[in-house]
């Protein structure tokens, strides 16, 4: 059971936005303010797309000249050492995939290469045998799987033990909501609020707000990847893309991150599509069908570019954006003011100030998704994606780079563990030739 009072700081950032700021869109508002069924797509459109419509976007084909291929990138002026790249593995909640059947600590079938290890074991071993072996490694968990992850990590040798930090939680919401009253929270059969992790955006948010970011003094780039991506992620390509992200962020402070994109079938409905706005074709964004009503137009080819969910953040750009937001809490933009704030947060002080600075710098609104929970009831979850950073006001905050499909091999379902096309990725060391 989650102690909401003890963990209220982790709930901040999502649900406090609901009363007053959110207006749940309902197709037929009821009389006398009675709760009405939430129109999820209309609500998301208002929150996430900021007046844009999905019909105003068009997906890009592989080979589009607006998207460089990784092999065509110029060599970085200053290559990064692995110690200058922090690797964040997204581990979410234990029930985050396939109703809890896929999770970081799931044992995989023993083989000559992986004798009875968990998915996270295999991923950490691949990382340890890769060109990124000496990179600092962090694991993003949540209060739902904190105890299990800590038990697992405590069994690792200290020198090989990643740092664990926790993202936020939000109470799940009822499908029917009032336009003006506080949100109606869903309770499980025991009467306690049912909670969900608040999404991959927390990989960046809580890295900063927890104060852990202050300890990454040598780091120039942050690589964020999912524990469930068993493609060839941790290779020399990752070193090249991390250096590219760091360099772009120093030269153009608005360029916060680089995202890998790869070719997927055009009828794939899940994930983030790389798309251009029809009114400004040079502006690229990452959009999902769940972001609003309607659909983006698709290219004539049978493939479309989609995010692999592997992103590289420029620390220089991140610090620049935080400094620009410091006046929101009465601080100077001078570097020393932000440094002091980050160091205080690392000591457990002034985290409310730092949270306010971060939320001013990155005003990403929550996204509603409709889920069926363990008791069989359908509910709404409030989450935030890292890909939503591509929709921030102003020029695009990212650059997309096209990579080979072998860099994105996701384990989402139990059947994926037996898939003959995916099994080699589970049993071979990362860094194999692409």
Q: What is the pLDDT of residues 83-100, one digit of tens each?
A: 999 999 999 754 455 456
Supply 233's token pair. 């992620």
pLDDT at 10: 46
Least confident of 29-33, 259-263, 331-335: 29-33
Q: Is the pLDDT of residue 30 over 70?
A: no
pLDDT of residue 210 exceeding 60, the answer is yes
Q: What is the DSSP letter of 283?
A: -
Percent of the chain with pLDDT strictly greater than 90: 61
pLDDT tens for each residue of 259-273? 999 999 998 888 999
Q: Are 309 and 262 in contact (CB under 8 A)?
A: no
As assigned by CATH, the class of the 8-426 domain is alpha beta
pLDDT at 62 over 90: yes
Is the pLDDT at 405 greater than 90, yes or no? yes
Pick from 312, 212, 298: nearest CA to 256: 312
- Among candidate residues 304, 58, 312, 111, the one with its CA nearest the CA of residue 204: 312
Q: How confident is the model at residue 32 (pLDDT cuts 50, 70, 90)?
A: low
CA distances from 316 to 260, 319, 330, 386 (A): 20, 5, 22, 18
How many Cβ atoms from other residues are within 10 Å of residue 71's Cβ? 11
Q: How confident is the model at residue 9 (pLDDT cuts 50, 70, 90)?
A: very low
Chain length of the chain: 434
pLDDT at position 110 over 80: no
Contact (CB, 8 A) for 380 and 39: no
pLDDT exceeds 60 at position 325: yes
pTM of the model: 0.91
**Hey, where are the domains in the chain?**
8-426
Confidence of residue 421 (pLDDT cuts 50, 70, 90): confident
How far apart are alpha carbons 54 and 152 in whole angstroms? 43
> Does 288 score more than 90 pLDDT?
yes
Q: What share of the chain is helix, strand, coil (3-state, %, to 5)?
A: 35, 20, 45
Name the helix (H) or strand (E) containing 196. Answer: strand 195-197
Average pLDDT, the chain: 87
SS3 category, 350: coil
Confidence at residue 3, expressed as pLDDT on a 0 to 100 scale: 47
Q: Identify the bridge partners of residue 138 per DSSP, sorted by sequence position.
A: 88, 163
Average pLDDT over residues 263-284: 93
d(CA 77, CA 241): 13
* The pairing of beta strand 195-197 with beta strand 169-171: antiparallel
Say whether pLDDT at 379 is over 90: yes
pLDDT at 135 > cutoff 60: yes
Quote the DSSP letter at residue 386: G
């Amino acid at each position: 059971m989650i102690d909401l009072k003890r963990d209220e700081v982790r709930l901040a950032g999502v649900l406090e936005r609901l009363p007053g700021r959110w207006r749940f869109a309902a197709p037929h508002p009821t009389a006398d303010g009675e709760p009405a069924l939430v129109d999820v797509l209309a609500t998301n459109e208002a929150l996430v797309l900021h007046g844009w419509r999905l019909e105003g976007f068009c997906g890009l084909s592989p080979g589009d000249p607006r998207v460089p291929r990784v092999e065509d990138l110029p060599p970085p002026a200053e290559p990064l050492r692995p110690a200058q790249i922090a690797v964040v593995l997204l581990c979410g909640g234990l029930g985050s995939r396939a109703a809890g059947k896929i999770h970081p600590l799931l044992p995989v079938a023993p083989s000559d290469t992986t004798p009875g290890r968990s998915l996270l074991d295999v991923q950490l071993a691949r990382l340890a045998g890769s060109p990124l072996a000496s990179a600092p490694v962090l694991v993003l968990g949540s209060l739902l799987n904190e105890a299990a992850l800590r038990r697992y990590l405590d069994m690792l040798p200290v020198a090989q033990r990643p740092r664990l930090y926790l993202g936020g939680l939000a109470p799940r919401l009822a499908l029917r909501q009032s336009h003006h009253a506080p949100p109606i929270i869903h309770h499980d059969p025991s009467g306690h609020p049912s909670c969900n992790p608040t999404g991959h955006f927390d990989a960046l948010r809580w890295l900063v707000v927890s104060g852990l970011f202050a300890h990454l003094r040598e780091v120039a780039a942050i690589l964020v990847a999912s524990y469930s991506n068993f493609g060839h992620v941790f290779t020399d390509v990752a070193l090249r893309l991390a250096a590219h992200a760091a360099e772009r962020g120093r030269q153009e402070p608005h360029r916060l991150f680089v995202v890998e994109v790869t070719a997927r079938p055009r009828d794939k409905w899940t994930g983030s599509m790389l798309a251009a706005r029809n009114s400004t074709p040079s502006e690229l964004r990452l959009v999902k069908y769940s972001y609003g009503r309607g659909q983006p137009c698709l290219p004539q080819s049978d493939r479309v570019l989609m995010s692999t969910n592997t992103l590289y953040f420029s620390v220089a750009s991140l610090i620049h954006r935080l400094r620009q937001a410091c006046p929101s809490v009465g601080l100077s933009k001078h570097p020393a003011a932000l440094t002091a704030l980050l160091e205080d947060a690392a000591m457990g002080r002034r985290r409310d100030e730092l949270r306010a600075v971060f939320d001013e710098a990155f005003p990403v609104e929550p996204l509603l998704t409709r889920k069926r929970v363990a008791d069989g009831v359908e509910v709404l979850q409030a989450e935030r994606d890292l890909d939503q950073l591509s929709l921030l006001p102003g020029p695009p905050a990212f650059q997309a780079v096209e990579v080979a499909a072998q860099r994105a091999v996701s384990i989402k379902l139990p059947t994926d563990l037996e898939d003959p096309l995916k099994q080699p990725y589970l049993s071979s060391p990362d860094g194999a030739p692409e």
